Amino acid sequence: MRVLPVGDDALLVEMDSGEGVQALRAELMRRRAEGSLTVREIVPAARTVLLDGLQDPARWVSELTAADIPPAPPRTDAVIELPVRYDGPDLADVAVHWGVSEREVARIHGATEFRVAFCGFAPGFGYLTGLPPRYDVPRRATPRTAVPAGSVALAGPYTGVYPRSSPGGWQLIGTTDAVLWDHARVPAALLAPGTRVRFVPASPESAA
SS3 14: strand
Provide the terminal-to-terminal Cα distance of the chain, rounded to the nearest Å.
Answer: 45
Residue 206 confidence (pLDDT) above 60: no
Torsion of CA 45, 46, 47, 53, to 10 degrees: 0
Work out the mean pLDDT of the chain and round it to a whole number.
91
Distance between CA atoms of residues 112 and 130, nearest Å? 7
Q: What is the pTM of this model?
A: 0.79
- Do the beta carbons of residue 181 and residue 124 sit within 8 Å? yes
Whether the predicted pLDDT of 189 surpasses 80: yes
Over its C-alpha atoms, the chain yields an Rg (Å, rounded) of 18
Task: Note the Cα 75 to chain centre separation in Å.
Answer: 15
Provide CB contacts within 8 A for 7, sequence distance 6+: none
Q: What does the DSSP 8-state code read for residue 26?
A: H
Is the backbone of residue 158 left (phi > 0), alpha (psi -120 to 50) or beta?
beta
Q: How far apart are CA 190 and CA 186, in angstroms?
A: 9
Look at residue 202 in the predicted model and tell me its pLDDT. 83
At 127, phi and psi to the nearest 5? -95, 110
Per-residue pLDDT, 90: 98
Most confident of 56-60, 121-125, 157-161: 157-161
Residue 94 phi, psi (nearest 5): -65, -40
- β-strand 166-168 against 171-175: which pairing, if any? unpaired
* Stronger pLDDT, 72 or 195, i.e. the higher one: 195
The pLDDT value recorded for residue 75 is 67
